[in-house]
């Protein structure tokens, strides 16, 4: 891939790589709790939440795509000062864009800590019962650090490699989970209140958090690729997988029983048997795939943070490597702050609310600022002509 001086490689992200990046980031720890969180609000109709949530997520992603087309070849860090400033007063743009950049980076940074902690909790409570939580976190962070040492091209290719290894087994497991399904558990679906529907949709939108990394990665998309279509396919794949898992969870356990299970998807997998006893314990295979899914979620978000800082300070790859190494230390301690799984879930819920701010508020506010600035520019142009 061709190099771009001072900023890594040029715009060479294919449409397939964009789909792999987005989908691999979307599908992570939320898969394990989605049947419980959606059915807690929508009861038997919990499967509706992923569908409606995907529509809301696409609106936000569409706005992000339009921003990237407005400023081709530039990341959120690079074009922010142009949105808020002007040619005559560039310092204004730098001052007003800095808070938005900080909000974006802080969110991504803390989201990696929370996701990593959930990953650690699942592994040490379900599989490696004698392994300390700290060991699992350090292992994950070392893998993330290794990926952060490379250029963006490597990140894209790693996601491209892991994508089929994540999606295909998850789809197979989701479909195989219907062996003990009782579809009567999905009925009735007409007694959900409007408030419950709104709360359920919120849970659905939160399950799609992760595509905000495209504030950075869309800058390197090939100009002839349809980014809207790439985003649509990514959300469609995630929505299909989420809906299958939620439908399977409700139909097998019923929505009431799901509320008593910490990791409902994992329990769902334990009830599933592969014909011919090819795999006696399917949950082991599921967790292996799930670990890869969590890795791409954490690694992509963390890479977006360190790469954005590299651009903010206009440095090279060595600066990125140093920053990635330094920031990993406080990230480890942040991940250990919650004292128990209840506090972890509270932090995850807060993170979901933050994701709405990042994914909806920032694109909307930026487009409002752009439209206002364009109106002022046209008015000044008419005054000069007059």
Q: Mind listing the pLDDT tens digit for each residue in 282-332? A: 778 888 889 999 999 999 999 999 999 999 999 999 999 999 999 999 999
Does residue 273 carry a pLDDT above 90?
Answer: no
What sections of the chain are H helices per DSSP?
15-26, 30-42, 48-70, 76-84, 90-126, 133-148, 152-176, 194-206, 214-217, 227-253, 255-258, 264-270, 282-312, 317-335, 341-356, 362-385
Q: What is the pLDDT of residue 18?
A: 94
Is residue 10 one of the residues assigned to a domain? no
Prediction pTM value: 0.92
Mean pLDDT of 205-218: 88
Is residue 385 one of the residues assigned to a domain? no
Q: 121-142 pLDDT, tens per residue?
A: 998 888 888 889 999 999 999 9
Q: What is the pLDDT of residue 2?
A: 38
Is residue 7 one of the residues assigned to a domain? no
Is residue 100 one of the residues assigned to a domain? yes
Nearest to 208 by CA among 175, 241, 173, 247: 241
How large a percentage of the chain has pLDDT more than 90?
Answer: 49
Mean pLDDT of 49-56: 86
Q: How much is the mean pLDDT over the chain?
A: 87
Confidence class of residue 385 from pLDDT cuts 50, 70 and 90?
A: low
Q: How many domains does the chain have?
A: 1
According to the per-residue pLDDT averaged within each range, which of 2-11, 22-31, 245-254, 317-326 is highest?
317-326
Q: What is the pLDDT of residue 368?
A: 93
Is residue 99 one of the residues assigned to a domain? yes
Q: In whole angstroms, what is the distance from residue 311 CA to residue 49 CA? A: 37
Residues spanned by the domain of 26: 15-380
Confidence class of residue 87 from pLDDT cuts 50, 70 and 90?
A: low
Is residue 252 one of the residues assigned to a domain? yes
Is residue 19 one of the residues assigned to a domain? yes
Is residue 322 one of the residues assigned to a domain? yes
Indicate which CATH number applies to the domain containing 343.
1.20.1740.10
Q: What is the pLDDT of residue 6?
A: 42
Confidence class of residue 351 from pLDDT cuts 50, 70 and 90?
A: confident
Q: What is the pLDDT of residue 276?
A: 58
């Amino acid at each position: 891939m061709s190099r771009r001086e001072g900023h890594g490689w040029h715009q060479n992200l294919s449409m397939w790589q964009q789909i792999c990046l987005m989908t691999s980031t979307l599908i992570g720890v939320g898969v394990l709790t989605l049947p419980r969180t959606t059915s807690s609000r929508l009861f038997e109709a919990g499967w509706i939440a992923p569908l409606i949530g995907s529509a809301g997520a696409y609106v936000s992603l569409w706005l992000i795509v339009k921003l990237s087309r407005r400023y081709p070849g530039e990341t959120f860090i690079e074009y922010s000062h142009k949105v808020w400033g002007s040619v005559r007063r560039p310092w204004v743009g730098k001052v007003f864009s800095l808070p938005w950049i900080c909000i974006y980076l802080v969110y991504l940074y803390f989201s990696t800590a929370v996701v990593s902690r959930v990953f650690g909790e699942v592994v040490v409570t379900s599989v490696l019962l004698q392994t300390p939580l700290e060991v699992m976190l350090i292992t994950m962070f070392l893998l993330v650090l290794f990926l952060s040492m490379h250029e963006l091209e490597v990140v894209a290719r790693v996601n491209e490699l892991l994508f089929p290894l994540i999606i295909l087994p998850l789809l197979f497991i989701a479909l195989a989970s219907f062996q003990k399904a009782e579809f009567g558990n999905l009925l009735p679906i007409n007694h959900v209140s409007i408030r419950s529907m709104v709360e359920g949709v919120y849970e659905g939108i939160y399950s799609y958090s992760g595509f905000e990394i495209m504030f950075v990665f869309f800058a390197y998309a090939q100009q002839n690729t349809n980014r809207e279509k790439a985003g649509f396919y990514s959300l469609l794949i995630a929505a299909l997988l989420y809906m299958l898992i939620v439908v399977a969870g409700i139909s097998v356990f019923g929505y009431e029983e799901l509320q008593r299970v910490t990791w409902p998807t994992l329990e769902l997998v334990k009830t599933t048997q592969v014909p011919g006893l090819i795999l006696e314990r399917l949950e082991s295979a599921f967790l292996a795939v799930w670990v890869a899914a969590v890795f791409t979620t954490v690694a992509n978000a963390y890479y977006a943070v360190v790469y954005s800082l590299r651009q903010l300070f206009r440095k090279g790859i060595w600066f990125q490597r140093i920053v990635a190494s330094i920031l990993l230390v406080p990230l480890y301690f942040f991940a250990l702050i919650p004292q128990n799984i209840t506090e972890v879930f509270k932090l995850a819920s807060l993170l979901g609310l933050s994701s709405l701010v990042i994914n909806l508020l920032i694109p909307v506010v930026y487009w409002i600022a752009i439209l206002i600035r364009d109106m002022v520019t046209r008015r000044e142009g008419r005054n000069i002509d007059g």
